[in-house]
Amino acid sequence: MPAMTTEMDELVTRAQEGDRAAFDELVRRTHADTYTLAYRLCGNEEDARDVVQDAYLRAYKGLKRFRGEALFTTWMYRITANCANTLMSKRQKHRHDELPETVEDTDLARDPAAQADVMALRSDLSDALAELSPKLRAVVLLRDVYELPHEDIAEELGISETAAKVRLHRARLQLKERLFPRKGEVDRAS
């Protein structure tokens, strides 16, 4: 067995026994490769730093369960990939286009047709929000405009976190139906 692997195994054993300095040394030895993987998976420095931090936190919490069936570095790569996947999935799930507050500072300022489209969409969105019940409107505004987490929304409204998530889902469905009706529904309404 190579000396480096033996040293790493010893560090892992010591870290599992609660030796914080041993875990710090594991981090020091694996950080560059872990960060490189995170950066390649995420594509930017900020997300890579978040992923690395999360990966080492998970590794620290799960170190006692590490059985040594793979190298520590392999285990870290797996954790890092999982953390990156989780982050990117969240980003994709919550991805949305921002409507500019004003058109003066955007490319829209030079395109009257695009300006009109944004203003019409903004108006339609305001109308659709106004048509929601107050309970649903409150949840969608707190989550999508003020970007509060579900837990804070639940606390703010005095409801369970599950109820906040259900209301948000219902509100978004109603908004989607009002803003983007299915073609058949549009034809019938005409």
Mapping DSSP to helix (H, G, I), strand (E, B) and coil, where does residue 44 land?
Answer: coil
Residue 166: the pLDDT is 94
What type of residue is 78? R
* Domain end point (choices 30, 63, 93): 93
Percent of the chain scoring above 90 in pLDDT: 36
Distance CA 90, CA 174 (A): 22
**Rounded-to-integer distance, Cα 133 and Cα 144, Å:** 16
Q: Write down the pLDDT at residue 103.
A: 53
Q: Which domain CATH number covers 181?
A: 1.10.10.10
Q: Which of 47, 71, 93 is the C-terminal boundary of a domain? A: 93
What does the pLDDT read at residue 72? 92
Same domain, 140 and 173: yes
Q: Is the pLDDT of residue 187 over 50?
A: no
Per-residue pLDDT reduced to its tens digit, 20-31: 999 999 999 999
Are 85 and 9 within one domain? yes
* 131 & 163 share domain: yes
Residues 83 and 116 in one domain: no
CATH number of 62's domain: 1.10.1740.10
Q: What is the domain count for the chain?
A: 2
Type of residue found at 96: H
**Helix, strand, coil share of the chain (percent; to 5):** 80, 0, 20
Mark whether 183 and 117 lie in a shared domain: yes
What pLDDT score was predicted for residue 190?
A: 45
138-147: per-residue pLDDT in tens?
Answer: 888 888 877 7
Winning range, highest mean pLDDT, from 50-54, 74-78, 152-156? 50-54
CA–CA separation, 159 and 176 (whole Å): 24
- Owner of token pair 């505004």: 141
Q: Is the pLDDT of residue 53 over 80?
A: yes
User: Which of 93, 123, 140 is where one domain is finished?
Assistant: 93
26, 86 Cβ separation under 8 angstroms: no
**Predicted confidence band at 52 (pLDDT cuts at 50, 70, 90)?**
very high
More confident residue, 164 or 92: 164
> Does residue 100 lie within any of the structural domains?
no
Q: Of all residues in the chain, what percent carry a pLDDT higher than 70? A: 81
Q: Please give the residue that has the higher pLDDT: either 126 or 102.
A: 126
Q: Is residue 133 part of a domain?
A: yes
Domain with 165, as residue range(s), is 107-189
Q: What local confidence, expressed as pLDDT, does residue 1 receive?
A: 44
Q: Is 95 helix (H, G, I), strand (E, B) or coil?
A: coil
Instruction: Tell whether 98 is covered by a domain.
Output: no
79 and 157 assigned to the same domain: no
